[in-house]
Amino acid sequence: MSTVWTQARRAARMNPSIIREILKVTEKPGILSMAGGLPSADTFPVDALKAACDRVLSQNPREALQYAASEGFAPLRDWVAQRVASLGMKVKPEQVLITSGSQQGLDLVGKVLCDAGAPVAVETPTYLGALQAFTPYEPLFTSLASDAQGPLPEALAALPHDAPGTRFAYLLPNYQNPTGRVMTAARREAVVEAARRVGVPIVEDNPYGDLWFDQPPPAALSSLWPEGSLYLGSFSKVLTPGFRLGYVIAPPELYPKLLQAKQAADLHTPGFNQRVVYEVIRDGFLEAHIPSIRARYKANRDAMATALSSHLPAGCEWQAPEGGMFFWIRLPTGLDAMALLPQAVDAGIAYVPGAAFYAQQPDARTLRLSFVTLTPELIGEGVDKLGRLLRATLNAVQERAP
């Protein structure tokens, strides 16, 4: 096609999100979707938000509706700085940058820290949205060997530290998307020690840390190495994603560049949204609200664990997550989760094939199931259908075998 538009070199690397394309398919009515990464809409505090909108527009309309500081709403920054003390972090409000969801935090990190060809280390597998956020900045991804507790310290210790060096290791210690795994306290210490030894700083992403079921996760990685860590948080999973509110906590030396990148990106996160959320949470609302989310999600986790044990064929592997929103399943040899998806949708269910979550060498046998969007009853029904599909496919594979 003849065109006057010449696109940037980096645009060639930007590809449609496979997950978003899948989600469009699974929005067909009647599909039992375990694909999305959406929190349960039943957890949204509608009345509290409605009252807060009214208060903000009654008490401070001129400020809430005007342009605002790029750093974010000062009382909300104060709140965040205090909040993360419970994760062992000692943070000043001046280190907090309010972002338009933590996805924007990832984009700003990419803009300020990534160069074309400079390595960035990620877990195996890792959050797809982070790969998408960093990719336009053309890093060279290094996929860290990982086990059920997260990345292996020896993989971090082996990172190249010659120029251009590994710019950072992107880590999700709590109920990771997609695997649901959590890093133990010992693993955290070993990982941070290894990173520190090779001089590779850590970008810690923690959207799910509040969603623990039996016991809170160990202290944040950022608490173990404050000057070598950047922390990303979010209100999406504990309040509402529809307000798009997250935050970055950065070492003082990095903060000014992140702030400039934020100004250039969208001037500031909506001041109205920041004030409304602050009105909701300022007096301890989350202390009662988050436990209600935990109880709901734990019941769903239990329902899915039971259903998986009942319905999945031998050879499937998984680990019940101790928090978060996802089960991560590995299918028996010979099955390919992406290839099976059309049949799954025909059967009335949806999941996310795991391949999309790998920076390198995808494992085609993996898939991600969310347990928070369906009711326990429908989870049973959906996993039953998945089990039937897998058994039928395994039988067909075995019949074809010599």
CB of 140 to a second copy, least distance (A): 13
Q: Judged by CB, which is closer to a second copy: 8, or 401?
A: 8
CB of 114 to a second copy, least distance (A): 6
Q: Judged by CB, which is closer to a second copy: 192, or 305?
A: 192
Phi-psi region of 205 (alpha: psi -120 to 50; beta: other; left: phi over 0): beta
CB of 8 to a second copy, least distance (A): 5
CB of 115 to a second copy, least distance (A): 5
Q: Which CA distances in Å does 221 have to 120, 173, 199, 254, 360? A: 18, 8, 15, 18, 25
CB of 47 to a second copy, least distance (A): 8
Reference 241, options 132, 136, 325, 134; nearest CA is: 325
CB of 10 to a second copy, least distance (A): 7
Q: Judged by CB, which is closer to a second copy: 213, or 255?
A: 255
CB of 97 to a second copy, least distance (A): 14
Q: What is the 3-state secondary structure (H, E, C) of the chain?
A: CCCCCCCCHHHHHCCCCHHHHHHHHHCCCCCEECCCCCCCHHHCCHHHHHHHHHHHHHHCHHHHCCCCCCCCCHHHHHHHHHHHHHHCCCCCHHHEEEECHHHHHHHHHHHHHCCCCCEEEEECCCCHHHHHHHHHHCCEEEEECEECCEECHHHHHCCCCCCCCCCCEEECCCCCCCCCCCCCHHHHHHHHHHHHHHCCCEEEECCCCCCECCCCCCCCHHHHCHHHEEEEEECCCCCCCCCCCEEEECCCCCHHHHHHHHHHHHCCCCHHHHHHHHHHHCCCHHHHHHHHHHHHHHHHHHHHHHHHHHHCCCCCECCCCCECCEEEEECCCCCCHHHHHHHHHHCCEECEEHHHHCCCCCCCCEEEEECCCCCHHHHHHHHHHHHHHHHHHHHHHHHHCC
CB of 218 to a second copy, least distance (A): 22
Q: Judged by CB, which is closer to a second copy: 191, or 383?
A: 191
Q: Judged by CB, which is closer to a second copy: 61, or 342?
A: 61
Q: Judged by CB, which is closer to a second copy: 48, or 320?
A: 48
Q: Judged by CB, which is closer to a second copy: 2, or 398?
A: 2
Q: Judged by CB, which is closer to a second copy: 9, or 400?
A: 9
CB of 192 to a second copy, least distance (A): 12
Q: Judged by CB, which is closer to a second copy: 26, or 103?
A: 103
